[in-house]
């Protein structure tokens, strides 16, 4: 059974960097795409970007160059970094397996609050 | 404001059939397949329909999807209390070069 688990600080100060890691169990990262998606409280979902197991990335232009993703296949992990955060970045952050045509497995989500 | 339009809410009684619409444009629904996700409050979204009208293993055949032009629909027949959730449509968008999500539709089972 494939499982994804997000981890990282639940509280980040404004202007600082949000960092999250997704650990994959029950499957290899090889050959697949892996995405980050977020959901502000009470709002809809927003795709942040994806990373291929080789390290190739694609990001949502709305995040204006603040996003960086990385992958560590040896540790079965991929990571998200979002710089210069504001209160608008407060959200539940999900990692998900992207089969290139749909998200078939999601993590449980990690609430990140941006506040001083 | 989402580039995809879904009704904010729909409702029905047990046993009824309801439909949820998703309206987009030529750059998303018009040229790519649509997926549907179900989200129970406080939990992660779950894949419900993929590639317009395919159900993953374990999803009852009460759920069906369709697409025509720049719109898509999710139909739920034989409504059950456990169907109460928020439903999101999601196609790839060629302009964004990424995934879009609709605003979500809250289904209430009366």
pLDDT at A78 over 80: yes
CB contact under 8 A, B44 and A101: no
**How far A84 CA sits from the closest chain B CA (Å)?**
22
Half-sphere exposure of A110 (CA within 13 A, CB side): 23
CB contact under 8 A, A101 and B33: yes
Name B60's Cβ contacts closer than 8 Å, sequence gap at least 6.
none
CB contact under 8 A, B37 and A104: no
pLDDT at B1: 62
Angle at B1 between CA A116 and CA B2, to 5 degrees: 110
CB contact under 8 A, B97 and A58: yes
Mean pLDDT of A6-26: 97
Q: Which of A47, A102, A106 is the closest to B101 by Cβ? A: A47
pLDDT at A83: 98
Mean pLDDT of A41-66: 95
Q: A85: which 2 tokens?
A: 């955060």
> What's the whole-number average pLDDT of chain B?
96
Distance separating alpha carbons of residues B26 and A96, to the nearest angstrom: 26
């Amino acid at each position: 059974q494939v499982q994804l688990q997000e981890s990282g600080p639940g509280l980040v100060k404004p202007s600082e960097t949000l960092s999250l890691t997704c650990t994959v169990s029950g499957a290899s990262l090889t050959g697949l795409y892996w995405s980050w998606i977020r959901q502000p409280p009470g709002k809809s979902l927003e795709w942040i970007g994806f990373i291929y197991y080789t390290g190739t990335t694609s990001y949502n232009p709305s995040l204006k160059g603040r996003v960086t993703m990385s992958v560590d296949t040896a540790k079965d992990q991929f990571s998200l970094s979002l710089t210069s955060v504001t209160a608008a970045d407060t959200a539940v952050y999900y990692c998900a397996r992207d089969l290139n045509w749909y998200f078939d497995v999601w993590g449980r989500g990690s609430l990140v609050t941006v506040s001083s | 404001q989402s580039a995809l339009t879904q009704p904010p809410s729909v409702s029905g009684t047990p046993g009824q059939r309801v439909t949820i619409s998703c309206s987009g444009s030529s750059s998303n629904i018009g040229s790519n397949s649509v997926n549907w996700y179900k989200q129970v409050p406080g939990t992660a979204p779950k894949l419900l329909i993929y590639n317009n009208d395919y159900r993953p293993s374990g999803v009852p055949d009460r759920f069906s999807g369709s697409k025509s032009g720049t719109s898509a629909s999710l139909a739920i027949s034989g409504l059950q209390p456990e169907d109460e959730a928020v439903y999101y449509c999601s196609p790839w968008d060629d302009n964004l070069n990424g995934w879009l999500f609709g605003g979500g539709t809250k289904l209430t089972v009366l």
